[in-house]
A and B are shown apart, each in its own frame.
Chain A
Amino acid sequence: MKSPELYLLSRTNRPDSHTLDVFRRHEGYQALERVLKGGFSPQEVIGMVKDSGLRGRGGAGFPTGLKWSFMPDPEKDPRPRYLAVNADESEPGTCKDRVLLEKDPHGLIEGILIACYAMQVKTAYVYVRGEYRLPHDRVAKALAEARAAGWVGENILDSDFSCEICGEETGLMESLEGKRGHPRPKPPFPAGFGLWGQPTTVNNVETLHNVPFIILRGAEWYRSMGTEKSPGNILVGISGHVERPGVYEVPLGTSAQKILEDHAGGVWKGRKLKAWIPGGSSTGFLPGSQIGLSMDHDSLKEAGSMLGTAAMIMLDETACVVRAMQVMARFYDHESCGQCSQCREGTEWLSQIFRRIECGDGRVEDIDLLTSLANGMAPGKTICALADAAAIPTHSVVRHFRAELEAHVEQGRCPYLSNDQPSQATVGAHA
């Protein structure tokens, strides 16, 4: 079998891959040239992205071309419009956009420019999380280079197309406007009412990186990789108890087992797999026996999980799922912005209950209490998806690892902890 074609990471291993020079020598800005000089209309670009079947890589998997087509027609709605680029990678386990921002910032800029052309947007904001200093600096430097070379700014390539891109170190939307990072209820949806109340599309970094390749090589080429409903390649970050953690590019639909074994070198220390998370902490646990699943939207959905950000987190047979869940529940409690009572109270309760079960102070009723709390945090009951993001892994632990919860309660201690260890020790021993 021939190995799959790589494109997302095709430049990242080259020395100085973040510079304009290296980028230009490896197909850089050729897709933009084709769009601007080849007489593509904005609608044609949207059509190509629709035909490619590209789905958002930020976690929800929404079809990108369709999302772009929701932007109102500028003839009828002349208000300023924006593209907000989500470089706020923050779903625990997810570390793929950082690779692209650091090593291929011009690839992002080219994707942004083509998206802006298609949606007739003149201003894009790249929201890079505050902790990402090197990625932020790389994007800022790439923007300066691109601007100096005429790729960003007025009348790009002597066309009528002008586009400004601002690389900002700040929370998306609300915090882009300088307010506290409070998620807003939907509707109104951002396509009609986003930044400063103007039409706005939000896209993830990796999503936009796909776009120039679709333009250059065609929708049919794109559809030759991946599955029918999830075409193309995806960046999988694999972390936890594996020999070679890392960010790998694979066609959508690749089996999780293949990624674990061929790319990540298998479970570390010759151990067996107990549990794994397919797409970032919000997608919840699956039992190790389900490692044969394919990494694509539909397969994981059928298995009651989600592809999310394709951030695989692996737990070996000595790990404690309850303790891992306690760490995750603490995170959601910390992140809840507190606007919705179900989320504010729910995340706090979940964190406390998992903690007391792990510490050996749990009661049998706690297990059903976890389920009923998580039920109260279902989508539609809160403003944003953070409450659901805490509920999903909670349900997964009760569904797949109920026996482990019960063992903690019955024994009044964590069964995976030797007696002389403090109960707040880590989930896995240090290598």
Chain B
Amino acid sequence: MAATRPPVLPEHLRSEFEELVSHYPERKAALIPALHRCQEELGGWLSPDTLEACADFFGLEPVEVFGVASFYPMFQLRPRGRHMVSVCHNISCALRGAEEVLEKACEVTGSPAGGISEDGRFSVQRVECQGACASAPMFDLDGVYHENLTLDDVERILREVK
């Protein structure tokens, strides 16, 4: 069998990460910000190839990189819909209808909680406190907070997504 070369990060990310690494006394301190950028640039999730390429770049074992990536809920290790709806289900949101918001979001998008819609457009997930407790209930849609949600808001906001 021919030796397979590890997957390589795209050039623009490599140069960006070289810059990032220079801010720290240790190279691997830049791993988490780098994983964030990979997720943004490379299809919204961290594929096994991406993790391996990061391991190679940072001089780490792939299992170490996987360990870090799997620790933080903000990293997606499975393919996901093009739009991510993250509904907070923690206490302050729960007191103001988070479960109904979640149910509505699933209904409008066709994605089950923790899954992906059949057309691949949406993923809906439960998340812990997002620091928007005094404007509950809330969800994060593709990195933007939507707060003080009514069920009508949920429907309108998600139907307007292109």
Asked whether any CB of chain A lies closer than 8 Å to the CB of B117, the reply is no
The 0/1 profile, CB within 8 Å of B marked 1, for residues 197-217 of chain A is 000000000000000000000
Judge whether B131 and A324 touch: CB under 8 Å.
Answer: no
Judge whether A237 and B99 touch: CB under 8 Å.
Answer: no
> How would you classify the secondary structure of chain A's contact residues: helix, strand, loop or mixed?
loop
The interface of chain A, by Cβ under 8 A from chain B, is 80, 89-95, 97-98, 129-134, 166, 168-171, 175-181, 196, 237-241, 245-247, 277, 281, 311, 313-315, 319, 324, 327-328, 331, 334-335, 337, 424-431
Complexed CA–CA distance, A95 and B86 (Å): 17
Judge whether B99 and A180 touch: CB under 8 Å.
Answer: no
The answer to whether residues A130 and B134 also contact, given A178-B29, A426-B98 and a CB cut-off of 8 A, is: no
Task: Give 26 A-B contacts (CB < 8 Å), ordered by A residue.
Answer: A91-B129, A92-B133, A93-B91, A94-B131, A94-B133, A95-B133, A98-B131, A130-B36, A131-B86, A131-B127, A132-B131, A169-B36, A171-B72, A178-B26, A178-B29, A178-B68, A241-B96, A245-B136, A313-B133, A315-B95, A327-B90, A331-B91, A426-B94, A426-B100, A428-B96, A430-B101
B143 contact set on A, CB distance < 8 A: 133
B76 contact set on A, CB distance < 8 A: none
One of A94, A170, A315 near B129 (C-beta < 8 A): A94
Judge whether B74 and A130 touch: CB under 8 Å.
Answer: yes
Judge whether B134 and A424 touch: CB under 8 Å.
Answer: no
The answer to whether residues A178 and B96 also contact, given A238-B134, A328-B91 and a CB cut-off of 8 A, is: no
Judge whether B145 and A134 touch: CB under 8 Å.
Answer: yes
The answer to whether residues A180 and B30 also contact, given A239-B133, A313-B92 and a CB cut-off of 8 A, is: no
One of B33, B99, B129 near A90 (C-beta < 8 A): B129
Complexed CA–CA distance, A130 and B69 (Å): 13
Judge whether B95 and A175 touch: CB under 8 Å.
Answer: no
Asked whether any CB of chain A lies closer than 8 Å to the CB of B157, the reply is no
Asked whether any CB of chain A lies closer than 8 Å to the CB of B140, the reply is yes
Known: A80-B25, A324-B91, A431-B97. 13 other contacts (CB 8 A): A93-B91, A94-B131, A94-B133, A98-B132, A129-B131, A131-B74, A134-B145, A178-B29, A178-B32, A239-B136, A240-B136, A281-B91, A428-B94
